[in-house]
Amino acid sequence: MGQVPVHVTLSNARELVMARLGHLAPEAVHAYEVEAVLDTEHFHCLVPDALTERLGLHCYWQGILQPDGSWGEGVVTEGITLELFGRPAHIQGLVMGERLHLSASVLGQIDLRYDEASGELRPNVGTWERPVFRV
């Protein structure tokens, strides 16, 4: 398993829907380009607090199981739409850390896989030009 640096565009998913419905001007949608780490060993995305503010995200408290096995509460974001290699995915994230960490679940949403031998992302079922999704 590994970590791959990636460049992603993030948008506030709620605002994107509002813009599509004509309730918000498209230029008012919060969007931001950022360098991230796609970590194939993470099950949850980690979103820095500064990024939640920049995207205008609403956040809420949720119970979390910490790495040491203890229970606590953490802050979770509302939906975020991300684009990676021109492919859209949708995430929520735990608000923590200083850098955006994307989980392995993102790969399934955009038909990519991590090639351990090369340390690169590659198409999983489809091609770079045409992703394919199993149903």
The residues near 95 (Cβ < 8 Å, ≥ 6 apart) are 47, 48, 49, 52, 59, 74, 75, 76, 77
Residue scoring higher pLDDT (66 or 124):
124
pLDDT tens digits for 37-46? 999 888 889 9
pTM of the model: 0.88
pLDDT tens digits for 52-100? 999 999 999 988 887 788 898 889 999 999 999 999 999 999 999 999 9
CATH code at 3-123 = 2.40.70.10
Mean of pLDDT over the chain: 92
8 Å CB contact between 135 and 71: no
Report the percentage of the chain scoring pLDDT > 70. 99
pLDDT of residue 34 exceeding 70: yes
8 Å CB contact between 111 and 47: no
How far CA 14 is from CA of 18, 28, 98, 99, 132, in Å, comes to 6, 12, 24, 22, 26
- Nearest-CA neighbor of 89 among 41, 127, 133? 133
pLDDT of residue 130 exceeding 90: no
- CA–CA separation, 69 vs 36, rounded Å? 27
pLDDT at 133: 79
pLDDT at 44: 87
